[in-house]
Structure 1
Amino acid sequence: GDALKLVPVNRQVSIDIELPNSADLSEVTVTVTAPSHRNLPVKLYRNRDHISANFTATEIGEHIIDIKVRDQKVIGAPFRTHAYNARAIQVGRIPNGVLGQPVEFEIDGSGAGSGNLEILVNGGHVTSFVRNLGNQRFLASFVPHEVLSHLVEMKFNGETVPGSPWQVGVMTGPKMAVLGEAVRLVGAGTTAVFEFSALGFSRDDIDIQIISPSKRPVTARLVEEKGGEFRVEFTPTEVGSHLVEVSVAGQKLPAGPLVAKVYNSALIRVTDVGSGVVGQPCQFRVDASQAGEGQLEISINEGEVPNHVQVVGGGRCLVSFTPEQTKPHLIDIKFNGETVTGCPFVCSVSDTSRVSLTLRNLELIPVNEIARFHMGVDGSGSAELAVSVRGKVSITTLMYYQALKLIVL
């Protein structure tokens, strides 16, 4: 019978055995061995001219049926049959379709066993295609050529697959548009948001794929708003361009992938901020090579002091300015509107033109005697001076100017 071909799991099946007229039921032995090497219970019943052996398979895979009469195997024994489970067929979401565009959906039969899968679209009037993905997974598709609801029916070994049939709506084409900018700057660790419209479609018809600069997928959240508008949200952590691919009913946005250019202002390094002198250029360095793409803004004393930026390549630059006043100069730096860590940087500025030196009698000086020179500071306010004498000497200082601070090095 059919039990020698394919049998369903969890359902009793019967094998008919024809016996010689002189054979008795007690002389017949039927053994059914499951893939796990377990023998299944078998019940024998005598009919008019044959014996029926009933058993129930509980696991998918090959079963071995051995039949003996008076301890002799019947011709052809052992027999092999395969158990299957149509209810284990898993069908992925079938999206609504667009006229003339493939409608694709996945089928997972890895837990169903061996057998024949039948797919009918509109009773077989629309051709369907199946591509093997390996490991008993398949990609099924069909192309609608009429703007009407399509009925997808599926059977496995003649049994209806769970969920069948499916109704698939078909439209002339999705009206899709990007709302706002398709390319945006996004700070690392903050939420990136893109909006688009797809009239006549629901969030079940939309697929979002986001790829980071290192080619890793990024999890996104799709929010359906009113009037056929949708919002994509995700939080990037990696600096660089993230590609956001949006597909509606298998059709991609006409504007192409959306792009989130991710930056991180905390990765900007500011170095070589020292002290300055009135009238002489001061320089410091800014390294934005690891911070991503964006706009760098630099201001000295809230923009009162002009600065010049020289790009040295690789996201690095040399910044210079010339102080005109003896006061601390505050350096503020912003990247894409965000204040760089450490700001404001302070550059102390002094005025050497106020200091005069009298160096008479210092061309030649005797050893072991005191050598003297004079320093003067013009104008009001205080001054901080440093004196350095190279060689084996001891320095004695006398302070005559009330506002003078003298540092001996």
Structure 2
Amino acid sequence: QRGAIQAKIFNLTAGDRYDIGQTISFQLHDTYEHIIQFPAQVLLNSFTVLLATRLKLTQERIRNVLLGKDSGRATVSFQLYEMPSQTPTNEQVIHHLRHLINKQTLNLLDPNRCVLNTVIGSVVVGPKGEPVNVKLFPQASGDYIGEFTPTKIGQHRIDITFANVPVQGSPFFTEVYDPSQVRIGPLPRDIIAATENTFEINLDNAGNVPLEIKILSPTGVNVPLKIDDASSRSTVKKVRFTPNETGVHYLNAKFGSEIVPGSPIKMMVNESRVVTAYGDGIHHALHEKSATFMIDTQDMQGDLKVRIEGPNSVIKNTLERNNDNLYKVTYVPVEVGFVNISIKWNGKDIVNSPYKAAVTNPERVRIIGGWQSILDSEDRMHIIINEEKKIRFDASHAGPGTLKADIRGITDGLRVPIRIDQQGTSYTLSFTAIREGKYDITITYDGNPLPNMPIRANASTASTHSGEHLKVEVHGRGSYEAKINEEAEFTIDASKATTHGSGIPVVRLTGVQADVEVRVRQIEQNIFHCSYVPTASGAYLLSVTWAERQIRGSPFKVNVLSNTNVNHSASRVVCSGDGLKMGILGKEIKCLIDTRGAGPGELTAYCQGASKTAFCRLFDHRDGTFTLYIKPQESGKHILTIKYNDEDVP
């Protein structure tokens, strides 16, 4: 047979790039000789305008329009480009083009305004990928050897044609990978026999081919192991293995058909008798309350040392020996947050040391607007049946934990369905009672009840004055802004409510450090003048209730400004969280920023690595606190800059 053999290779992983066009072609009924009698540029410009119009595209997406010849007939080919902000997609355009041609409704016009018809089913779509250079070398036997040097990992498509006809099996697909990018470890510091041990293997930028791991024991036996995805990122694998022998083991890793550089790796497996720690105090503790945990030394002789550190303190602990192998550790945390518990045996950390225990204080969980905004004078809550009740909590000063609730009928013990929505350290409890009666509401934080639990609630039908609270309005600057040591004023207008002469508003102004007394004086029927004098700057919440229900918009946020120089407000901004110390590449890091003691101002954050800028996102909780989310783009040391009113936060 006669004909030229051709090979084309495309990197399919580059298919989502916007600077790579996709080749599309179709055939005309008209002969090539008939078409070329017209000026080429005029004809190609006509084709470009027609394609853009009929396919509903901008002309910038249609490039490199060419006229070709196939079996005597004329062919039209062009490059179809994706645009980041434009629709339809390439796939949708190709589907539409096939439909037009098969219905013979795509009619082109030559310069003489004559219609050029297309051949039904003649649309040919090229691969959506980046071309790769390939060389073909003919052999004496008549065979060909093809060579190409890939520069990127991922799936590549190989199209081979002979005499412009695809050979059998074409296109072929091959995976390009790089075993030098496989990252193993770090391996466990202490590998214990008869115990499951784990380590991770990172395949980022390595490719998508099978990973093979074998661990050989000192006697040459393969150790049973299991490989799972470590997270939603399937490029990180977690290897679990349980050795049954002690001594030197060898870890062999193969990626595709290649040995991973650095393999095999030596691993020392030790005896299973190790010092362990257990108990609630190793994971949780209450602020300024005694916490305990146990240490089991397995009847071994050695030096045991325990050190407990809080975010800003070293916490004293006592070590009490119960018997030859059990020790009881007691400590009292002096601040909320996470404490690190380091347990060393003969100078080395025991398994899982250092531990991280969460210290919480449920007494610091606050109702936004104060308890008085939801309770009556007898500390009871009033609920209207079949109407959703919402209670908002602020746990920003309670430490790391989770807020939970349980609501039950007193007589029947049946639970009321609840929903808790969380945004940072703010929680919203929502529930709806469907029966009249009395209920007990128990709120817990990190498993510990809040003070004065449970709350007694009375559920009843809506009164004749239902909805009156929605008719009450608040006016005046003092409802949203004030200055310290200056009287602020606002007015409560309940004149539209029908409870003339009987309604009295309940007003509370709560802050982080202290509440502010609000004086309420009636000046007209159902119109009240309110005033207060704040003594500290910051963000406050103004709660106004009418007929035992919050009015529309309550609680209101009030910014109390300082009369003195506020240029040093940045020094009163408090930043906390593990994200200030370390993070993991590719994972979002977060920390909490509290500006309530600094007064109103602008908060900015910027994080710079060695060569790349990390993504920073600030979430405003609308109570003076923010959560900063940081996503680094490279490993290594980063510099985090946080400014408040253009001044660095210490």
Query: Which of the five TM-score ranges fits, normalised by the shorter chain?
Result: 0.3 to 0.5
Q: Which has the higher contact order (CA 8 A, sep 6+)?
A: 1
Q: Which has the larger radius of gyration?
A: 1
TM-score normalised by L of structure 1: 0.43
